[in-house]
Amino acid sequence: MKCNWKRFLPTSVAIVLALLPAPEGLPSHAWFYFAIFAGVIAGLIIENLPGAGVGLIGVTLVMIFSQFVLFSPEQLAKEGFKPAAEAIKWGLSGFSNTTVWLIFAAFMFALGYEKSGLGKRIALQLVKLMGKKTLTLGYAVTIADLIIAPFTPSTTARSGGAISPDIRTLPELYDSKPNDPSARRMGSYLMWMAISATCITSTLFLTGLAPNPLAAELVRKTTNVQISWMQWFSAMAPFGILMLIVLPLIGYVLYPPEVKGGPEVPAWAAKELEKQGPMSKQEKLLGVLVLIALALWIFGGKFIDATTVAVVVVALMVLLRVVTWDDILANKQAWNTLIWFGTLVTLASGLSQVGFVKWFAEAIGHHFEGLSPTMAMILLTLLFYLIHYMFASVTAHVTAVLPVMLAVGSAVPGMDMPQFAMMLCGTLGIMGILTPYATGPSPVYYGSGYLPSKDYWRMGAIFGVIYIAAYLLIGVPWFAMLY
């Protein structure tokens, strides 16, 4: 019987690390905690089990062995200290986190777009208006993603689930077929624009990528720096908006389609809109609710919490029958994400609680002695970005690497931590362009038959350089002005 080595890798990583002596200056309980944490990250990377299951197992192990991994001898010696009670409080703390519930609520927004048909209508309207030329069709794909990105944190649902099915029908109207030399006629360009655009929109909005709010929460726990929805957008807008304006043109030059345009696509979109009929009551209601949520996220930060806004809108969606409660219960991806992020927030915060993050920062900080804060920030951001070649999940990347990078940055004399934290967080969306496995919808487009492996890796590297270069050139001076 063939042995599945992936099944045993996470456990092996945890056991091997735990058997090694703790590094100098790090308490043994913190080293044991890190061993379990490293095993969780290994499990997230190889994806032998669903991420939520891996996170739940990790939290459970820490709670079971809390007296050896979570609490110091000094804490355990305190009179009246109850490790079992404190461990369960710690284990469930992630589920009281407002950021986790903001992510969950945003999945419900995406469900509303799907159930009402509003998301499909927006995409078809753009294709009808802009589909005569392949270049403007690239803009239509980009704008469609931009419109729904603030309310759809799952790029898999947004791009892979909503955008991809619509645009996959377009190339064959021009005899551009998958897994065929004719793919370059139009299909290759459109598919590359779709994945390229969603990486930019994921960067532009706090709620445009599920790991973004997770990163913001880890920043708050690690550095006590708060990042609101509007602060995120203000920081990313110069880079994100400029890139969205030039993105279809860059793709048109670097990965040009052979067919430059024709009347078939707008005609097809018009027929599809006719089939859909006039806007339904649910579409109109959802449109109003979405505008209210966006207005409160932008202008109401001083009066109402962003998560409260999202939860209220979800409640109104149920009350007004935009979605049903059964629809919410059936949304496995949302509930899976709730468990996943609830456990990961807890596990990542534990690194700080046991003192590992502080120890690591002090241990590695001397390597950046002599560098200016700006140069250290740029180098650490580049390293953070390029490390994603090793990850098949942005969430795993955030959980494993972000607290460490923040710790290293905090050890650099003169480092502006709000600026540095924002600089790191802004790369989470754009790093999704690097590989065919870099972000949720990547495998969808990679497997479409329109993006051959050599093209995907080549264009991923080219666009990866363009994205990070533009991000640093625009972001470093802009963030310096903001902070």
Residue-wise pLDDT for 302-319, tens only, equals 788 878 888 898 999 999
pLDDT tier for residue 327 given thresholds of 50, 70 and 90: very high
Q: What pLDDT is recorded for position 349?
A: 78
Q: Using N-to-C axis directions, what is the helix angle for 98-116 and 281-299, rounded to 10°?
A: 150
Top-confidence residue, 165 or 8: 8
Cα–Cα dist 161/158, whole Å: 6
Say which residue, 196 or 352, is predicted with more confidence. 196
Residues paired with 133 in a beta bridge: 261
**What does the pLDDT average to over 447-458?**
87
More confident: 158 or 83: 83
Specify the range with the lowest mean pLDDT, choosing from 114-118, 165-169, 262-266: 165-169
Task: Give pTM, 2 decimals.
Answer: 0.73
57/366: higher pLDDT: 57
Q: How many residues does the chain have?
A: 483
Neighbouring residues of 298: CB distance < 8 A, sequence distance ≥ 6: 229, 230, 233
Comparison of pLDDT for 188 and 122, the residue scoring more = 188
Q: Per-residue pLDDT for 2 more than 60?
A: no
- Of 286, 269, 270, the C-alpha closest to 115 is 286
pLDDT grade, residue 469 (50/70/90)? very high
List, in order, residues 6 or more apart from 472 with CB less than 8 Å away: 378, 381, 382
pLDDT at 1 > cutoff 60: no
Do 112 and 322 contact (CB within 8 A), yes or no? yes
State the pLDDT confidence band at 5, using cuts at 50, 70 and 90: low
Give residue-wise pLDDT tens across range 389-414.
Answer: 877 678 878 887 898 889 888 888 88
Domain spans of the chain, in order of start = 11-71, 98-208+227-331
Categorise residue 405: left if φ over 0, alpha if ψ from -120 to 50, beta otherwise: alpha
Question: What are the tens digits of pLDDT across the range 143-154?
Answer: 989 988 888 787
- Rounded to an integer, the average pLDDT of 56-63 is 93
- When pLDDT is cut at 50, 70 and 90, the band that residue 3 belongs to is low
Which of 367, 340, 292 lies closest to 104, judged by CA? 340
CA angle 271, 276, 279 (to 5 degrees): 125
Q: Give the residue, 366 or 172, on which the prediction is more confident.
A: 172
**Chain mean pLDDT for the chain:** 86
Q: CA–CA separation, 159 vs 460, rounded Å? A: 17
What lies within 8 Å, CB to CB, of 136 at 6+ separation is 130, 248, 261
Q: Which residues pair with 261 in a beta bridge?
A: 133
Mean pLDDT of 284-301: 82
**Span of 63-67, 138-142, 367-371, 449-453 with lowest mean pLDDT:** 367-371
Closest by CA position to 473, among listed 302, 243, 245, 299: 243
Cα(73)–Cα(370) distance, integer angstroms: 38
For residue 4, pLDDT beyond 70: no
Q: What is the pLDDT of residue 45?
A: 73
pLDDT band at 382 (very low <50, low <70, confident <90, very high): very high
Summarize pLDDT for 158-181 with one digit per residue, the tens: 887 668 766 777 787 778 888 888
Residue listed under structure tokens 């029908």: 169
Q: How confident is the model at residue 195 (pLDDT cuts 50, 70, 90)?
A: very high
Q: How far apart are CA 167 and CA 144, in angstroms?
A: 11
